[in-house]
Structure 1
C-alpha cells in the first residue's frame, strides 16, 4: 500500500473508533429510556385495543347456549371481563343451578353486567320459541347469539352405533343450533339495513375432517358448517355477521361425556399433549364479536401448537 494511503486508512479507523466511543455512553444512557417508551407504547396499544372492544360491546345483549361449562362458561366470563360496566348476558343450559352459580360469580367480578340464567333444551323447538318469546323486556334486544351447545357420545362405528346416541347428537348439535338461529333471526331482521347482529356458531375441526370412531359427531359438525355457509350467503344483503369458529383439541367435559363419565378414559385423550383451554376459544369468540361492524371473521380454525389436523398430533413420550 502507498504510504499516503496507509496514513489515510489509519486516520479513518482512528476517527471512526473515536466517534463510536463518544457515542457509546449516550446510547447506553438512552437505551433504558427507549426500552421503557417502547414498553409503554405496547401497553398503551393493548389497552387501546381492549378499550375499542369494550366500546363496541357496550350495552349489548349476548345470548350463549351451553353456558354451564367449558367453552360456553368461559365465553360468558370473557365477555363480562371485556365489558364489565354495561352488558347483558343470557346464559342457557340444562343445568340451571350451575348457571346461577356462574351468574353469581360474574356479579362479583363485573357488577355492571346483568345476567339472566335460563334452563333450556335447545333441541326442543317449542321450548326455544317460548323462551325467546318470554324474554324480559330488558333482555329482548339480543345482539349476539353464540350457538355453543353441543355434545358427543361414544366412538362406535357403523353398524354398531347406538340409535339413541345418533338422535341426541343431531338433536343438540344440529337441530338445536338451527332452532336458536330461527328464533333469534327475526329480532335481528327488525333492524336497519336489512338487519344487524352476530351469529357465532361453534363448530369443530371434525366438521372439516371426519375421523374413525366419530362418524356421527363429524356429520353433525359438517352439517353446522354447511348451514353456516348457506346462512351467510342468504343474509349477504344485511349487516348480520355469520361467524364460525372451529376448535381443534380442547380440554373440556367433552371427552368425559363421550366416554359416559369415565374420567380415566377421557384423560388418556390428552396424554402427552397440551390441548387448548376453553378460555382460548372464548377469547376468539369475544374478539370476533368485538370487531368493527364491517369486519367479519367468517371462518376460523384454532389449533393447539401440537396439532396439524383432526388426527395429526405430536404426543410427548412419558
Structure 2
C-alpha cells in the first residue's frame, strides 16, 4: 500500500496552530515509521531543534483487508499492518528513548501508547485478527517497558479507545457508507476530541501519578462485543 502524502495536511495544521492563541514552537516531520533509519533521522532532527522530547504519543495504527478473515488476507496488507502497528511503534519509542529521554539526567519523560480495547479482548469483527494481535503486542511491550524503565523518571501509559468516528472505521468497512452507518446504528460513537481530552487528562497528572491504563469507550459500548443500540433512543 502506498504511503498517503500528508505533508500538505500537516503544513496547514501547523499554520493554523501558529495563528491561534497557542504558545510554543510548532514543527512537523513526515516519515515512514516502518523505516528505522528514517525514523531515527527525524527524531534526531527534532531533538536538535527542541533540545528534549518530554512526551511521546504513539498513535499510528492501521487495519486493512476487511471483510477478509486472516487466511484470506493478502500478505502485503499483513506486512503493512505489522510494519506500522509493531515495527513503527517500536522504532519511534526506541529512538526517542535513546535520543532524548534516557540520555538526559535525570532520565525523564512520558510515553503514552494509544492501543485499543481490542488489545485485551478478541473482537467479533472479521479482518481484525492481525490488528488484534498487533494491539496485544503493544500492550505487552507497554507493560514490559514500564518494568524495564524502573530507576528512571519515565512514565509509560496506555490509552485504549473503543469505537471512534474516524476514517479508521471507514477504511475497515471499505468506504461503504451504508456499512459505516450500520456499524454505529443506535448509539453515538466517540470523536477525536474525546480521545484528546482523555489524553490530556492522563498527561496532566503530576509526575508521581500514573494513570497506567484507561479505557475510553462510548457508554453504549458495554463491552467489545455488546453494543447497547437503544442508547440514543433512551437518551434523546
TM-score by length of 2: 0.89
SS state at 2:27 partner: strand
Cα deviation, residue 94, structure 1? 4.8
Relative to structure 1, the CA distance from residue 238 to residue 133 in structure 2 (aligned partners, 3 Å threshold; closer, same or farther) is same
Aligned to 1:205: 117
The CA deviation string for residues 2-59 of structure 1, in whole angstroms up to 9 with x for no partner, is: xxxxxxxxxxxxxxxxxxxxxxxxxxxxxxxxxxxxxxxxxxxxxxxxxxxxxxxxxx
Aligned to 2:150: 236
Aligned-partner Cα distance in 2 for 1:257–1:94: 17
Cα deviation, residue 146, structure 1? 0.4
- Which among 40, 46, 50 is matched to residue 135 of structure 1? 46
Aligned-partner Cα distance in 2 for 1:201–1:120: 19
Q: Report the more deviating stretch, 146-155 or 198-207.
A: 146-155
SS state at 1:109 partner: coil
Aligned to 1:180: 92
Matches within 5 A, 1:235-314: 235-314=149-228
SS state at 2:9 partner: helix
Relative to structure 1, the CA distance from residue 267 to residue 124 in structure 2 (aligned partners, 3 Å threshold; closer, same or farther) is farther
Aligned to 1:88: none
Cα deviation, residue 191, structure 1? 2.4
- Which among 169, 189, 192 is matched to residue 102 of structure 2? 189
Aligned-partner Cα distance in 1 for 2:70–2:201: 39
Are the equivalent residues in 1 in contact too, given 2:47–2:53 (CA < 8 A)? no
Aligned to 1:217: 131
In our comparison, the structure showing a higher alpha carbon Rg is 1
Larger helix percent: 1
CA RMSD of aligned residues (A): 1.8
Aligned to 1:109: 20
Aligned to 2:60: 149
SS state at 1:223 partner: helix
Aligned to 1:60: none
Aligned-partner Cα distance in 2 for 1:164–1:96: 24
Cα deviation, residue 111, structure 1? 4.5
Aligned-partner Cα distance in 2 for 1:126–1:259: 33
Are the equivalent residues in 2 in contact too, given 1:94–1:120 (CA < 8 A)? no
Cα deviation, residue 136, structure 1? 6.4
Larger strand percent: 1
Q: How many residues align?
A: 225
TM-score by length of 1: 0.67
Relative to structure 1, the CA distance from residue 155 to residue 140 in structure 2 (aligned partners, 3 Å threshold; closer, same or farther) is farther
SS state at 2:70 partner: coil
